[in-house]
């Protein structure tokens, strides 16, 4: 174990050096007002899983900030080139932001985490999770205010009824992309009676109605982030399979209502699969997390594995047609809890780390439902 940690540490240092030297210019969001590239080209979208800074992770961010405040940029530096090169980059924020490391919630993140996400190149993050109401609606307000200040868009929770009914539209090259998000539960915490719109709960009819509303609002592509599934399980559960089939089968005027589904909650990698012609990622895994344990209370290194999904969309051949995915890729990652760093597994292997077992485990899970036959490949 010690030798493996040393190899990872060396590889992480090398990758971070390369990342610092390879800063790619990120795309401009729709809010910048800058002209979009020519409509003939498509766009790339990358998506990461849960950002879940537990106490040891928060301590590392404080150390990286020199003991004053918190700095999450070094933690994400190895994947910054992958994220920033994409036309659109999405993530999932599992916990609310607090006033400090502990905040007022059972599980809260320092607000500086939002700055780290922005510096890495993330454009929008889903915020609907089982922890959305940990600090009540005050926690939602603080989280969304923090993301606004950092320049990161968000979807899944809301401060007002009007905000809840507003589609999050993002510019991705020549396309307008709607980002929608829902959670299967809120850990038993009921929605506030006077603010039932505060968190988007996962209901198929609601998801499809919102997707159709996004089309009417001008979305070329509709992406749905779902917090669903069974924690600690690599295989999708029956509910995920049934819901994926239902959502991807829905069409309006012959065009699918949803173009991509991104899953979180399992805290472990889950398969990618093309369902009814639409890519579904059942579970991306956690990009940032602490030590994970299985149901027996044993530490599970598999809980620190994840993927970054990357999809290339091209415009339709005819007006009103579907933007098609021409390239589907997954990039294996792990969170090194000793170094407090996200590791691009392929890059680390190239730098000499013995992570082939982790890479192969991720690849086996991701391809376990036959995605390779539909063109899914491991990216770099």
379: number of Cβ within 10 Å: 17
Instruction: Render pLDDT for 234-289 as a digit per residue (tens, 0 to 9).
Output: 999 999 999 999 999 999 999 999 999 999 999 999 999 999 999 999 999 999 99
Higher pLDDT: 376 or 301? It is 376
pLDDT at 82: 97
Question: For residue 14, is pLDDT > 90?
Answer: no
% residues pLDDT > 70 (the chain): 85
Q: 123, 180, 171: which is closest to 147 by C-alpha?
A: 123
pLDDT level of residue 293 (50, 70, 90 thresholds): low
The share of the chain scoring above pLDDT 90, in percent, equals: 81
Q: Counting Cβ atoms within 10 Å, is residue 191 exposed (0-12), middle (13-18) or buried (19+)? A: middle
Backbone angles phi, psi at 234, to 5 degrees: -75, -30
- For residue 5, what pLDDT band results from cuts at 50, 70 and 90? very low
| pLDDT band at residue 226 under the 50/70/90 scheme | very high
pLDDT for 7 beyond 70: no
Q: Model confidence over 146-186: pLDDT tens digits?
A: 999 999 999 999 999 999 999 999 999 999 999 999 999 99
- Give the pLDDT score at 62: 96
What average pLDDT does the segment 286-315 reach?
85
Residue 25 has pLDDT above 80, yes or no: no
Place of tokens 């579970």: 283
| DSSP structure string for 222-278 | EEEEEE-S-TT-SSPPHHHHHHHHHHHH-EETTEES-SEEEEESSSS---EEEETTE
User: What architecture is the 2-378 domain classified under in CATH?
Assistant: 4-Layer Sandwich (3.60)
Question: DSSP code of 86?
Answer: S
What is the structure's pLDDT at 209?
Answer: 98
Q: Where are the beta strands (DSSP E) in the chain?
A: 43-51, 88-93, 96-97, 108-109, 124-126, 153-155, 168-172, 175-183, 221-227, 251-252, 255-256, 260-264, 272-275, 278-281, 286-288, 305-314, 324-336, 341-344, 376-378
On average, the pLDDT of the chain sits at 89
Whether 333 has a pLDDT exceeding 60, the answer reads: yes
Q: What's the pLDDT tens digit per position in 342-376? A: 999 999 999 999 999 999 999 999 999 999 999 99
pLDDT at residue 204, as a whole number: 98
pLDDT higher at 333 or 33 = 333
Q: What is the band of 108 on the pLDDT scale with cuts at 50, 70, 90?
A: confident
- What's the average model confidence in pLDDT over 215-244? 97
Mean pLDDT of 24-47: 59
SS3 46: strand
**pTM reported for the whole predicted model:** 0.89
Confidence of residue 2 (pLDDT cuts 50, 70, 90): very low
Distance separating alpha carbons of residues 233 and 251, to the nearest angstrom: 30
């Amino acid at each position: 174990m010690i030798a493996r940690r040393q190899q990872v540490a060396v590889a992480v240092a090398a990758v971070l050096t390369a990342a610092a030297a390879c800063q790619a210019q990120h795309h401009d969001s729709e809010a910048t007002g800058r002209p979009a590239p020519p409509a003939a080209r498509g766009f790339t979208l990358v998506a990461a899983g849960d950002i879940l800074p537990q106490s040891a992770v928060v301590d590392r961010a404080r150390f990286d900030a020199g003991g004053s405040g918190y700095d999450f940029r070094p933690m994400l530096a190895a994947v910054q080139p992958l994220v920033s090169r994409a036309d659109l980059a999405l993530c999932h924020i599992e916990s609310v932001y607090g006033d400090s490391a502990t905040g007022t919630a059972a599980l809260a993140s320092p607000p500086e985490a939002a700055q780290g996400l922005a510096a890495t190149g993330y454009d929008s993050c889903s915020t609907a999770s089982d922890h959305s109401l940990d600090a009540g609606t005050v926690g939602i307000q603080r989280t969304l205010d923090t993301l606004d200040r950092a320049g990161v868009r968000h979807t899944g929770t809301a401060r007002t009824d009007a905000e809840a009914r507003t589609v999050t539209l993002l510019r991705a090259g020549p396309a307008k992309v709607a980002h929608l998000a829902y959670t299967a539960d809120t850990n038993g915490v009921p929605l506030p009676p006077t603010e039932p719109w505060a968190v988007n709960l996962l209901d198929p009819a609601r998801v499809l109605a919102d997707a159709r509303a996004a089309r009417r609002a001008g979305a070329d592509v509709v992406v749905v982030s779902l917090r669903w599934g069974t924690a600690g399980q690599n295989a999708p559960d029956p509910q995920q399979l049934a819901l994926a089939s239902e959502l991807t089968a829905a069409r309006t005027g012959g065009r699918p209502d949803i173009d991509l589904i991104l899953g979180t909650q399992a805290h472990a990698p889950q398969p990618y699969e093309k369902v009814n012609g639409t890519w579904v990622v059942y579970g991306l895994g956690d990009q940032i997390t602490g030590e994970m344990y299985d149901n027996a209370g044993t530490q599970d290194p598999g809980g620190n594995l994840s993927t970054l999904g990357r999809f290339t969309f091209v415009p339709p051949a005819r007006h009103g047609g579907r933007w098609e995915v021409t390239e589907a890729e997954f990039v294996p990652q792990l969170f090194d809890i000793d170094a407090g760093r996200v590791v691009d597994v392929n890059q680390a292997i190239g730098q000499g780390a013995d992570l082939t077992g982790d890479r192969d485990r991720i690849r086996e899970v991701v391809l376990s439902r036959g995605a390779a036959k539909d063109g899914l490949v491991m990216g770099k």
